[in-house]
Amino acid sequence: MFQGVFYMKPRISQLLQQSPGSEIVVAEGWVRTKRESKTVCFFELNDGSTLKGLQVVVDVETFGQPELLLRITTGAAIACTGKLVSSIGGNQEVELKADSIELFGEAPVDTYPLQKKRHTLEYLREIAHLRARTNTIGAVTRVRNVLSFAIHEFFQQKGFMYVHTPIISASDAEGAGEQFTVTTLDLANVPKTKNGSVDFSKDFFGKQTKLTVSGQLEGETYALAMKNIYTFGPTFRAENSNTKRHLAEFWMIEPEMAFCNLEENMAVAEEFLKFLFKRVLQRCDEDMRFFSQWVEKGVQDVLLKVIETPFVHMTYTDALVELEKANATFDYPVHWGSDLQTEHERFLTEQVCNGPVIVTDYPKEIKAFYMKLNDDDKTVRAMDVLVPRLGEIIGGSERESRLDVLERRMRALALNPEDYWWFLDLRRFGSAPHAGFGLGFERVVQYVTGMQNIRDVIPYPRAVKQADF
């Protein structure tokens, strides 16, 4: 079974699936809790491979070494050697009857921050370097891992190319939000030009550079060569936003497809989300039952229902009809042309549709310049996928592939076409209809797990005034 040079000892997840036997096995991990009586002592051992750990049983009298047992406390790293036996207790099939235990690292009870009791997520954020050792964050970590892999599975099996768009961007205006500047200039002694502004020609790249807020524009260039591509990488926004669904550094998935219109774009988005949900239900059953019970009641059933139900399609104009009926209940009443607030999006997906809904064809004034203009000259081929509890989870569009229309739109928004010369070249040479969307990875993890705060679904959250660890 293990043929590589590096011999992998079995993980606890594998041991838990084995039958009792006379073979000697070794289990390595961290002690979650210890229970002891006069003659018998139990450790629950966890190595991150599963939610529920392996019960290790020690016969106190035959084991001897009472001082060793005393030093093994919650948090200690140990390796236990013995046989897998069927368990007398009712909560597990097998357990490890330890003949010997090696203690690698103690976790002194008076200083170890994790106790064998439930902690709040807020407290765990303060000890983010240790929180992966908890049930909740461990489960999040496994789900996040499965989702990451599923993203590649979905696109790879559909023949999409994984493209790495740049993290450092020299584009003057990507237009998706405030950006972080990347510089090696001495901030205590910034070089200035004659008119007093910062002289970026002295900077590392010879011009001002920033961290990317989106790989879309570069993604489009590769879609118009490889046909179907996707990006999956870190994204940075310097917005001063302080909410439970925003981060300054987050991961984003951005597929881009040539010879593709908005209808096909919507179909891909729907199939993609459903694929991710299916994979998690298949491969993280134990963790998902945990989330369903303790974090968001019934979240498994919600995902199952989403998988089975076709997404509702609705134009912005039709959505407005629904919203205006209920205008009295809103803090911000809507009219045609106004942007949808969080309360409106949630009303549509939770009250009107009772499930995911894709809203399309928004007024051009409230959407980005690169979206394809409709024949009515008033709306663009944009789409937002809205889901209950979270609101917008995907934003996308068919792109404007007509050079003259795109240039006109840019001028109307006071953008300089020369700054986008390479982006416009795509429309000059071999232009084709194309479309794509962006999906915030952490928001998917949030939706799937039911975790309320986005800072708990990424290992080390970066947000306003927060860059610890």
Partner RNA sequence: UCCCCUGUAGCUCAGUCGGUAGAGCAGGUGGCUGUUAACCACCCUGUCGGCGGUUCAAGUCCGUCCGGGGGAGCCA
Please report, as ranges, the residues that interact with RNA according to CB under 7 A: 33, 35-40, 42, 44, 55, 57, 73-74, 87-92, 95, 97, 109-110, 113, 115-117, 119-120, 122-123, 125, 176-177, 214, 237, 239-248, 250, 252, 332, 339, 341-343, 345, 391-395, 438-440, 442-443, 452-455, 465-466
Work out how close the CB of 202 gets to RNA at its nearest, in angstroms, rounded to a whole number: 29
Nearer to RNA, 425 or 466 (CB): 466
Nearer to RNA, 39 or 293 (CB): 39
Nearer to RNA, 355 or 391 (CB): 391
Nearer to RNA, 41 or 163 (CB): 41
Cα distance between residue 265 and residue 93, in whole Å: 47
Work out how close the CB of 437 gets to RNA at its nearest, in angstroms, rounded to a whole number: 8
Residues with Cβ within 8 Å of 453's Cβ and at least 6 positions away in sequence, in order, are 121, 244
Cα distance between residue 73 and residue 116, in whole Å: 10
Instruction: List b or e across 211-245, with b for residues whose CB sees 16 or more CB atoms inside 10 angstroms.
Output: bbbbbbbbbbbbbbeebbbbbbbebbbebeeeeeb
Which two three-digit tokens encode residue 449? 């797990």
Nearer to RNA, 76 or 146 (CB): 76
Work out how close the CB of 240 gets to RNA at its nearest, in angstroms, rounded to a whole number: 5
The closest alpha carbon to 176, from 150, 205, 145, 210, belongs to: 210
Q: Under DSSP, is residue 7 helix (H, G, I), strand (E, B) or coil?
A: coil
Nearer to RNA, 53 or 431 (CB): 53
Cα distance between residue 112 and residue 131, in whole Å: 12
Work out how close the CB of 39 gets to RNA at its nearest, in angstroms, rounded to a whole number: 4
Q: Under DSSP, is residue 206 helix (H, G, I), strand (E, B) or coil?
A: coil
Cα distance between residue 199 and residue 42, in whole Å: 66
DSSP line for 94-116: EEEEEEEEEEEE---TTT-S--S
The closest alpha carbon to 347, from 365, 338, 334, 364, belongs to: 334
Work out how close the CB of 238 gets to RNA at its nearest, in angstroms, rounded to a whole number: 10
Nearer to RNA, 78 or 200 (CB): 78
Work out how close the CB of 304 gets to RNA at its nearest, in angstroms, rounded to a whole number: 23
Work out how close the CB of 429 gets to RNA at its nearest, in angstroms, rounded to a whole number: 27
